[in-house]
Amino acid sequence: MLPLAMGWRNLLFDNYPVAPDVVDAHLPDDLDVDTFDGDAWLSVVPFTNVDVRPKGVPEGWGMPLPELNLRTYVTCDGEPGVYFFSLDAQGVLGVTGARLFHHLPYYYARISLDGVDGKVRFLSRRLHPGARPVQYEATYWPSGEPFRSTEDSLARFMVERYRFYTQAPDGSIMYTNVDHDPWTLYPASVEVQTNTLFAANGFETPNTGPVRYYSPGIDVTASRCKRWE
């Protein structure tokens, strides 16, 4: 698959600290839990991709792809990255391509994302045949002053990640590099009406206090998917 260019917009990072063994039980053997001050993290991330296209294709020729994912933070032979437990997205072509070429656990969903009075209202319902049902509904918004992610050690740990790992059907670890500028973040306020992502991925809903960030977004490029040697 060709390298891709896209924009990530209107993101919420809804991050929950959990015991490392909770996450480790759900990871491929070749990946290790990455922790901050002894905690592993589960992050719910609703947002929308804009203008997804092969790298080099002019802006405006791509397709939108609203998305909801549940992710954690890992290392592979010491190299940090992100590992996705699930990704729900509305575009059938995008879901199919990501499953085939990046081995990502994408699921087709019906998603709406609307901005009203400075707040983002996000609704997602999984419709993927044979998959566990997922419903998510939340409203989120920036609730403080902006800051650079590089200025905060926890924020840097969670969002300044430039690789994601996946597992191919034969069990081998694959990786994709991503490139983007450092994030501009805001403290976020969130009203969650429904969230069944944790249960659908075999986790109990965390009872720990979340750390929440909002970002208006950044532009991103993603490399080809490669096998970890």
The pTM is what?
Answer: 0.94
What count of Cα atoms within 13 Å lies in the side-chain half-sphere of residue 72? Answer: 30
- Residue 19: pLDDT band (50, 70, 90) is very high
70: domain CATH number is 2.40.400.10
What is the average per-residue pLDDT within 9-16?
Answer: 98
Range of the domain at 168: 4-227
Q: DSSP assignment of 138-171, as one string?
A: EEEEE-S--EEGGGSHHHHHHH---EEEEE-TTS
Q: Which of 76, 49, 26 is nearest to 197 (CA)?
A: 26
Report whether pLDDT(139) > 90. Answer: yes
Q: Distance (Å, rounded) from C-alpha 75 to C-alpha 81?
A: 6
Kindly report, residue by residue over 98-134, the tens digit of the pLDDT: 555 557 888 999 999 999 899 999 999 999 988 999 9
Residue that is written with structure tokens 């919420």 in the block = 12
Kindly report, residue by residue over 48-96, the tens digit of the pLDDT: 999 888 888 888 888 788 999 999 999 999 999 999 999 999 865 655 5
What is the average per-residue pLDDT within 209-224?
Answer: 96
State whether residue 95 is helix, strand or coil: helix
Report whether pLDDT(39) > 60. Answer: yes
Mean pLDDT for all residues in the chain: 93
Kindly state the tokens that stand for 111: 């998603």
In the chain, the number of structural domains is 1
